[in-house]
């Protein structure tokens, strides 16, 4: 894990950039906001930009920046993302995340997720306590690759912690946990798995038009360099194409879930999760629904947004439905 603590002076610089971004009135059209953020990110403190560039080139699995400034008058934690979207709660923090995120990658969103918002809210939602989405609480969120179904899924999932009163851990596990027999390892390296959109995606998704995606082409769990492979895994939203692949999938799940690392995010902590190198999840907790609940802002980042443009017929930062 790589960690950087921002100094008071650096925090003040970031606050100034956030003020200017708000004053410039960049609207929340995702293309405009993302491009403006990328331009403004050039003015972030040099030490932060060097740190993030270093994490990128080293392909650090987990990278934490601590001391991202939070509004001392931060609103109560909204009960679920819909309430957050309606009230624009945590707007300053949203912009701080967008700016720091834009120093690491190109921000983008999904039309099918949180109504196409670029920055998402992650807070417990009533009725969703045991769902398979980030709005859950009482149930463990299984280790997953973010948006495992999509070839243009994020290179980094960035999470900025606004509140975490009970110190609930984000769990992470890397490909190095997969100490498997050669047979099982081979199975994971072959196109013998189907991946599906998770329950946070609503409405139709490009290339995934019907409820039954099993016709979609099979793909691999492990891919890329043999000595340092990348990983694509979400036991809740994938299926093995044959019994041998199913056995390898269950063995991989056991190894990943047996002793994941725990990252407890504190307010002002911003974590960049390398979505090709590690899977992430969350320990269960009891929701409060009193305004003091755990609350994160989330941003998807690509190393090169042109991967999206190349797959789409419009130049958009939203993966179209
Ligand atoms: N295994 C899972 N539960 N996968 C889905 C993960 C949660 C999803 N990315 C969300 O934002 O809600
Ligand atoms: O709440 C967390 O710590 C992680 C939730 C998660 O998986 C996500 O928001 O993508
Ligand atoms: Fe996630």
Q: Which ligand is nearest to the CA of 113?
A: 1
In this structure, what are the phi and psi dihedrals at residue 142, rounded to the nearest 5 degrees?
-60, 155
pLDDT at 211: 45
Say if ligand 1 is within 6 A of residue 136 CB. Answer: no
Scan for tokens 């009970």, then name that residue: 166
pLDDT at 209: 46
pLDDT tens digits for range 23-82: 998 877 777 899 999 999 999 999 999 999 999 999 999 999 999 999 999 999 999 999
What's the 134 CA to ligand 2 centre distance in angstroms?
5
In this structure, what are the phi and psi dihedrals at residue 237, rounded to the nearest 5 degrees?
-130, 40
Angle between helices 30-41 and 91-102 (to 10 degrees): 60
Q: Measured between alpha carbons, how far is 238 from 304 in angstroms, rounded to an integer?
A: 26
pLDDT at 208: 57
In this structure, what are the phi and psi dihedrals at residue 115, rounded to the nearest 5 degrees?
55, 35
Q: Measured between alpha carbons, how far is 244 from 42 in angstroms, rounded to an integer?
A: 49
146 annotated as a binding-site residue: yes
pLDDT tens digits for range 92-115: 999 999 999 999 999 999 999 999
What's the 195 CA to ligand 1 centre distance in angstroms?
13
Task: Report whether 301 contacts 107 (CB < 8 A).
Answer: yes
CA 25 to chain centre: 26
Q: Quote the ipTM score.
A: 0.98
Say if ligand 1 is within 6 A of residue 133 CB. Answer: yes
For ligand 2, atom 5, the nearest C-alpha belongs to 134
Classify residue 268 as left (phi > 0), alpha (psi -120 to 50) or beta.
left
Query: Which residues of the chain are under the pLDDT cut of 70?
Result: 204-215, 320-321
For ligand 2, atom 1, the nearest C-alpha belongs to 282
Say if ligand 2 is within 6 A of residue 157 CB. Answer: yes
pLDDT at 321: 52
Angle between helices 8-23 and 30-41 (to 10 degrees): 140
**Counting atoms of ligand 2 from 1, which one is nearest the CA of 159?**
9
Q: Measured between alpha carbons, how far is 175 from 252 in angstroms, rounded to an integer?
A: 9
Cα 153–Cα 317–Cα 303 angle in degrees, nearest 5: 50
Scan for tokens 């650090």, then name that residue: 60
Scan for tokens 């929701």, then name that residue: 287
Q: Which two tokens stand for residue 247?
A: 């056995």
Classify 105 as helix, strand or coil: coil
Angle between helices 8-23 and 91-102 (to 10 degrees): 110
Share of the chain above pLDDT 70, in %: 95
First to last CA, the chain: 35
Say if ligand 1 is within 6 A of residue 236 CB. Answer: yes
212 CB-side CA count, 13 A: 2
Q: Looking at domain 2-176+261-319, does it have CATH number 3.60.130.10?
A: yes
Q: In sequence order, what are the residues at sequence separation of 6 or more whose Cβ sits closer than 8 angstroms to the Cβ of residue 47?
A: 4, 10
68 CB-side CA count, 13 A: 31
Classify 160 as helix, strand or coil: strand
């Amino acid at each position: 894990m790589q960690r950087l603590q921002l100094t008071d002076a650096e925090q003040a610089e970031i606050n100034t950039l956030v003020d200017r971004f708000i004053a410039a009135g960049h609207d929340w059209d995702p293309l405009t906001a993302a491009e403006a953020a990328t331009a403004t990110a050039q003015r972030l403190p040099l030490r932060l930009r060097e740190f993030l560039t270093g994490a990128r080139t080293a392909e650090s699995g987990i990278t934490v920046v601590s001391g991202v400034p939070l509004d001392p008058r931060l609103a109560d934690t909204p009960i679920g993302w819909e309430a957050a979207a309606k009230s624009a709660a945590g707007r300053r923090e949203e912009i701080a995340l967008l700016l720091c995120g834009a120093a690491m990658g190109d921000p983008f969103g999904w039309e099918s997720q949180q109504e196409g918002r670029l920055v998402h809210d992650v807070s417990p939602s009533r009725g969703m306590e045991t769902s398979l989405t980030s709005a859950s609480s009482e149930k463990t969120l299984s280790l997953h690759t973010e948006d495992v179904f999509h070839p243009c899924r994020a290179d980094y999932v960035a999470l900025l912690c606004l509140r975490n009163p009970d110190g609930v851990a984000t769990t992470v596990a890397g490909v190095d946990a997969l100490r498997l027999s050669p047979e099982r390892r081979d199975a994971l390296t072959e196109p013998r798995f189907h991946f599906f959109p998770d329950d946070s995606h609503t409405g139709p998704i490009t290339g995934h038009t019907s409820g039954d995606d099993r016709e979609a082409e099979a793909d691999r769990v492990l891919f890329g360099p043999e000595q340092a492979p990348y990983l694509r895994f979400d036991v809740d939203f994938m299926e093995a194409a044959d019994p041998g692949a199913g056995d390898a999938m269950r063995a991989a799940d056991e190894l990943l879930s047996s002793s994941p690392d725990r990252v407890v995010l504190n307010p002002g902590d911003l974590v960049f999760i390398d979505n090709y190198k590690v899977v992430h999840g969350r320990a269960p907790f009891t929701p409060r629904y009193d305004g003091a609940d755990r609350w994160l802002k989330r941003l998807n980042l690509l190393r090169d947004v042109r991967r999206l443009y190349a797959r789409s017929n419009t130049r958009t930062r939203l993966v179209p439905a």
